[in-house]
Structure 1
């Protein structure tokens, strides 16, 4: 018999079983322990990190998890809108890509990134990645709409 609970980070039910910890990009593990020694706190791979540091890491990671969830939901909403654009373009035989609009959006996002103290080059890479996926969706929508003419 397993103990059922709710994960505070995701809100999903848990069964009391835990997956093995995975190392994240910041050198820590998904169970909150350090994957490598930390000279600043005197921690080691065995997990002898100051409890206050662990608590602060947990608090920050919870915020990061919430922000990541919001980002995913915002991107999903964006794609809902761009899918509608794709259907409108296909219905009116417009090309899937709009280089002028894309350039305007990139310039706008770079300005927003600068104002937010975010690397504009990173913001541009992110938007280019999203735009490429949107164009791919628009191309598929146009193909599904049938031949032009």
Structure 2
């Protein structure tokens, strides 16, 4: 079946749904960008005070929190955990890069 064989009503519904998906994808990208702006600030603060890039206790709390949120939103908690682990790994990588490029503060 080719796209020209699809009923016009079905085609219109597919278009409507795909436009919604495209809008949601854009919102997700912009939300991630905002999240990374905040985590960059955290990375600079950690680097200035010589704190480690990773915080396993916080990460564990965040994973549990996100799993609970996912469950209440009818989203697979395992998927939500995988997504957050991917994001956390990227944040830690950024924090390590920031720490490597931040000179020691006087008195350190």
Class of the TM-score when normalised by the shorter of the 2 chains = over 0.9
1:103 aligns with 2:60: yes
Q: Secondary structure at the match of 1:117?
A: coil
Q: Does the CA contact (< 8 Å) of 2:48 and 2:104 recur in 1?
A: no
Q: Does the CA contact (< 8 Å) of 2:68 and 2:77 recur in 1?
A: yes
Q: Secondary structure at the match of 1:118?
A: coil
Q: TM-score, normalised by structure 1?
A: 0.69
Give the unaligned 5+ runs of structure 1: 1-43
Structure 2 partner of 1:84: 41
Structure 1 partner of 2:17: 60
Runs of 4+ in 1 over 3 A off after TM superposition: 146-149
Aligned match for 2:95, one of 138, 145, 149: 138
Larger Rg: 1
Q: Distance in 2 between matches of 1:65 and 1:58?
A: 10
Q: Distance in 1 between matches of 2:34 and 2:72?
A: 24
Q: Secondary structure at the match of 1:47?
A: helix
Which structure has more RCO (C-alpha within 8 Å, separation ≥ 6)? 2
Give RMSD over aligned pairs: 1.3
Call closer, same or farther: CA 1:127–1:70 in 2, change over 3 Å: same
- Name the one with the larger helix percent: 2
